């Protein structure tokens, strides 16, 4: 069974993926665009998917699904979509994750904004070393 699926990848002069299209039966199914900062780190991704519009026609969505990425040096610390935010805290000076926090965006709006150090110390009674409290601060 052959589904005639074709992928097209486009790269910039720095060899970074900037555009991707998946075509099936001659029609675009998914189109993605990728954004980078001056250091070459991916900072965003926008994805349009094929969907049925109000008239019943199939076309790529008007509003893309967006994903944004946050960095601390070479460490990926934040991945955020319309639905969720994932934050990662690393051991100082390393790429070893200490903590991963997943938050639904609706919950973020309702939450009292406290630093991660405050949350850990107030809610669990954990006493953090001063250096770690500042880093989470």
Q: Rounded mean pLDDT of the chain?
A: 86
Query: Tokens 């919950």 identify what position?
Result: 107
pLDDT digits (tens, 9 = 90+) for 2-40: 668 999 999 999 999 999 999 988 888 899 999 999 999
Give the pLDDT band (50/70/90) at residue 98.
Answer: very high
Asked if residues 44 and 67 have their Cβ atoms less than 8 Å apart, the reply is: yes
- Per cent of the chain over pLDDT 70 is 88
Q: Strand 97-104 vs strand 75-80: parallel, antiparallel, or unpaired?
A: unpaired
What global pTM score does this model have? 0.69
What SS3 string covers 63-88?
CCEEEEEEEECCEEEEEECCCEEEEE
Q: Under 8 Å CB-to-CB from 120, ≥6 apart: which residues?
A: 126, 128, 136
**Rounded CA gap, 135 and 55, in Å?**
52
Q: Hey, which CATH number is domain 5-82, 1.20.58, 2.60.120, 2.40.128, 2.60.40?
A: 2.40.128
Please determine, for residue 58, whether its predicted confidence score (pLDDT) is greater than 90. no
**For residues 22 and 105, which has the higher predicted lDDT (pLDDT)?**
22
Cα 88 from chain centroid? 12
Name the residue ranges covered by the structural domains of the chain.
Answer: 5-82
Binning pLDDT at 50, 70 and 90, where does residue 127 land?
confident
Quick check: 45 pLDDT over 80?
yes
Per-residue confidence (pLDDT) for residue 108, from 0 to 100: 55
Give the pLDDT score at 123.
75
- pLDDT exceeds cutoff 90 at 55: no
Taking alpha carbons only, the member of 129, 137, 132 closest to residue 92 is 132
- Alpha helices (runs of H) in the chain, residue ranges in sequence order: 105-110, 116-124, 130-136
In this predicted structure, the answer to whether residue 1 has a pLDDT above a threshold of 60 is no
């Amino acid at each position: 069974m052959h589904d005639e699926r074709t992928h097209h990848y486009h790269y910039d002069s720095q060899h970074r993926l900037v555009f991707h299209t998946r075509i099936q039966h001659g029609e675009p199914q998914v189109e993605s665009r990728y954004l980078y900062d001056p250091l070459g780190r991916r900072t965003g991704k926008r994805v349009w998917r094929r969907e049925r519009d109000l008239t019943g026609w199939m076309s790529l969505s008007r509003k893309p699904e967006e994903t944004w990425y946050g960095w601390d040096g070479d460490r990926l610390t934040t991945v955020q979509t319309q639905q969720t935010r994932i934050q990662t805290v690393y051991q100082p000076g390393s790429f070893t994750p200490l903590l991963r926090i997943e938050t639904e965006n609706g919950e973020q709006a309702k939450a009292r904004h406290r630093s991660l150090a405050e949350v850990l110390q107030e809610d669990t009674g954990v006493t953090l070393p001063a250096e770690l409290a500042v880093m989470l601060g």
